[in-house]
Amino acid sequence: MISNTVAKAKTHVNFFLILLGAALVLGFIIIRPYITTIIVGGILAAIFSPLYDYLRRFVRKESLTAAVTLILVFIVILIPLFFLGSQVFQESKDVYSSLTSNGTLGGLFESTKNLITKYIPGASFDISNAQIGEYARQVLGKVIENIGPVFSGIAQIALHIVLSLMAFYYFLKDGDKLKEELIKLSPLKEKENREIIEKIKTAITSVVRGSLVIGIIQGILTGIGFSLFGIPNPALWGSLAVIAALVPGAGTALIIIPGVLFLAFSGSLVSAFLLLIWGFVAVGLIDNFLGPRLMGRGTKMHQFMILLSVLGGITIFGPVGFLIGPLILSFILALIDIYPAVILKRR
């Protein structure tokens, strides 16, 4: 009798699990086209939660506070970011067209080669202007390939932006409620659940708000410097400087030094010197000044790992992978960090 009751209960549980699994699969299929959009909304909510918490001191209603935060982020960050992306795309196409004829780059390479052979007799180069142009075209082609789709379908991108902002709004407004529901569903102890959530949040915010925000600021300053001292296509090079800022030991110097050389070989020695000073003072020192304030005591991730996560994220998810890649890596590191407390203590 007891065995029949147990078997029947087990059948009920198995049947429910099958229904639940089928429902989850169908649900995933339905929202699959918009998963990336929802994730971006969640990342934005994590990044700007301090702003939301600050506004909560003055506005009691959660929905109104979330709406004000959304409007501020949209006006101050997202609109300028869209126009910047459009400018980068246009400059990428201009540079790509310029490289097709090997004119600008070929002339610069020829000047550099002549200067080196003048002071270092016997120096030889086994690479032609055409090869230099081809390499550069491949790199710029990849940039256009990743950025282009963002601006190709206005209706589709507008839909994703609206959904992402809606997700951002509801994550801000109902994030605490969602967290409590997830804790209820988890089989782990409540203390362990809260510790996992806090460590994941700390890892995400410290990496995204720390290394990536610093990289963005350094990229903006690099673009401003290029514009001030007469280097063409400053928005494009500033965007590439954001990625370069994540390279350990080199950073934005990978973009600024070639800019300095470009000015020097073009005969603008004063501008080259001023750009070098700008790169060292305005761009280089920003990491030391803002780094500790933005990173806080969060999870420290090696710059090389951040670079890999950004490049891998962009490769898999497109431009939004700039945020999603580090998010996934932060999640993994947070789970590894909590692993001893959750698993090893139970053995």
- Render the burial of 289-310: b for 16+ CB within 10 Å, e for the rest: eeeeebbeebbebebebbbebb
- Each residue's pLDDT tens digit in the chain (347 positions)? 556 676 776 787 788 889 988 998 998 899 888 888 888 888 888 888 888 988 988 888 888 999 999 999 888 887 887 777 777 777 776 766 665 555 555 555 565 556 555 555 555 555 555 555 555 556 655 555 555 555 555 667 778 888 989 999 999 998 888 888 888 887 777 777 787 777 777 767 767 767 777 888 888 889 999 989 888 888 888 888 888 887 767 788 888 988 888 888 888 888 889 999 988 887 767 766 766 666 555 556 677 787 788 788 878 887 777 778 877 887 787 778 777 766 666 55
At residue 266, the pLDDT reads 80
Please answer whether residues 245 and 280 qualify as being in contact, where contact means their C-beta atoms are separated by less than 8 angstroms.
no
What is the spatial distance between Cα 265 and Cα 251, in angstroms, rounded to a whole number? 23
What is the spatial distance between Cα 339 and Cα 21, in angstroms, rounded to a whole number? 27
At residue 26, the pLDDT reads 92
What is the spatial distance between Cα 113 and Cα 82, in angstroms, rounded to a whole number? 39
Tokens of 221: 């300053």
User: Which residue do the tokens 């256009």 mark?
Assistant: 144
At residue 147, the pLDDT reads 56
What is the spatial distance between Cα 87 and Cα 249, in angstroms, rounded to a whole number? 29
At residue 35, the pLDDT reads 87
Q: CA gyration radius for the chain? A: 25
Give the rounded distance of the alpha carbon of 80 from its chain centre: 16
Q: How many CB atoms lie within 10 A of CB 317?
A: 18
At residue 168, the pLDDT reads 92
Q: How many CB atoms lie within 10 A of CB 152?
A: 10
What is the spatial distance between Cα 324 and Cα 47, in angstroms, rounded to a whole number? 13
pLDDT digits (tens, 9 = 90+) for 59-89: 888 889 999 999 998 888 878 877 777 777 7
At residue 134, the pLDDT reads 58
Q: How many CB atoms lie within 10 A of CB 234?
A: 22
Please answer whether residues 298 and 337 qualify as being in contact, where contact means their C-beta atoms are separated by less than 8 angstroms.
no
Please answer whether residues 199 and 337 qualify as being in contact, where contact means their C-beta atoms are separated by less than 8 angstroms.
yes
What is the spatial distance between Cα 309 and Cα 327, in angstroms, rounded to a whole number? 8
What is the spatial distance between Cα 190 and Cα 200, in angstroms, rounded to a whole number? 15
Dihedral-angle region of residue 160 (phi above 0 means left; psi in -120 to 50 means alpha; beta otherwise): alpha
What is the spatial distance between Cα 81 and Cα 75, in angstroms, rounded to a whole number? 10
